[in-house]
Amino acid sequence: MKIVDAESLGKAIRRRRKELHYTQAYLAEYTGFSASFISDLERGKETAEIGKTIFLIQILGMDLCLEKRG
């Protein structure tokens, strides 16, 4: 999936969380992050902390890769 903005990243994270049948509350408890952070991230909040976001992506069994265009 091509991520072009915070909203598309949030949608990808939400989709994966739901595939795993995790609730936001469960994920918050498991990671120690607040449920509001996870909710904000999934809604595409542009100021979400990058370190927490990358950690959450890893917890969900996903990889974040950057590629040069062209």
Taking only the tens place, the pLDDT of each residue in 12-51 is 999 999 999 999 999 999 999 999 999 999 999 999 999 9
The residue extents of the domains of the chain are: 6-59
As a whole number, mean pLDDT of residues 5-10 equals 96
Burial 39-63 (b: 16+ CB within 10 A, else e): ebbbebeeebeeebbeebbebbeee
Q: Is the domain 6-59 a CATH 1.10.260.40 member?
A: yes
At 2, is the pLDDT very low, low, confident or very high (cuts 50, 70, 90)?
confident
Enter the pTM of the model: 0.92
Query: pLDDT tier at 55 (50, 70, 90 boundaries)?
Result: very high
